[in-house]
Amino acid sequence: MLIGELARQTGCEVETIRYYEREGLLSAPQRSASGYRRYNAEQLGELNFILHCRSLGMSLADIRQLAAFKADSSLACDDINQLIDQQISKVHQQVESLRLLEQQLLALRDRCHDHHTVAECGILQTLVEASEGEPCVCHTPFGQDPHPHHPSVEKQ
């Protein structure tokens, strides 16, 4: 199986497969006389493992870890559980901060209903006023502390 066929079977782009190999996630495949990569069922499994973990939002570093555990099955699995727990709490935090963000955006959106000129747009007014130090609907929707702004979302 050539790389294009593997890509078709997994739905993964050819360039991404080569990238995973470069990153040491996928073991280097055999090569044909002309240098083409030849894959077998084992590497199909390897790639599907990676894609499955990626679809669970895991980083490539996490996946490398998991693959190492897979290789040495006599180890204790506490580290696996911890890895998943960390992933869960990371995702949970992201959900929470994005939900807050959505509320803030909805409050901001509520400042402009009809279409008129920019000069009268409540959204832009709110944003400008906030930049001048006044409290804003988006960040103080329910009478919370006015400012500071920054750490609403930690990573995007």
Partner DNA sequence: GCAAACCCTGTAGTCGCTACAAGGTCAAGT
Partner DNA sequence: ACTTGACCTTGTAGCGACTACAGGGTTTGC
Q: Contact residues for Zn ion (CB under 5 A)? A: 77, 80-81, 112, 121, 123, 130, 136, 138-139
CA 130 – CA 139 distance, rounded (Å): 9
Q: Which residue, 88 or 116, is less far from DNA as judged by CB?
A: 88
CB–CB of 107/141 below 8 Å?
yes
* Minimal distance, residue 5 CB to its own copies, in Å: 16
How many residues does the structure list for the chain?
Answer: 156
CB–CB of 66/86 below 8 Å?
no
Residue 121's contacts (CB-CB under 8 Å, 6 or more residues apart) are 111, 112
Q: Does the footprint of its own copies cover residue 66 (CB under 8 A)?
A: yes
β-bridge pairing 37-38 and 30-31: antiparallel
Instruction: Say which entry of Zn ion, its own copies, DNA, none residue 140 contacts (CB below 5 to 8 A, set by partner kind).
Output: none
Contacting residues toward its own copies, per CB under 8 A = 11, 45-46, 48-49, 51-53, 55-57, 66, 69-70, 72-78, 80-81, 84-85, 87-88, 91-92, 94-95, 98-99, 101-102, 104-106, 108-109, 112, 115-121, 123-124, 127-128, 130-133, 136, 138-139, 148-153, 156
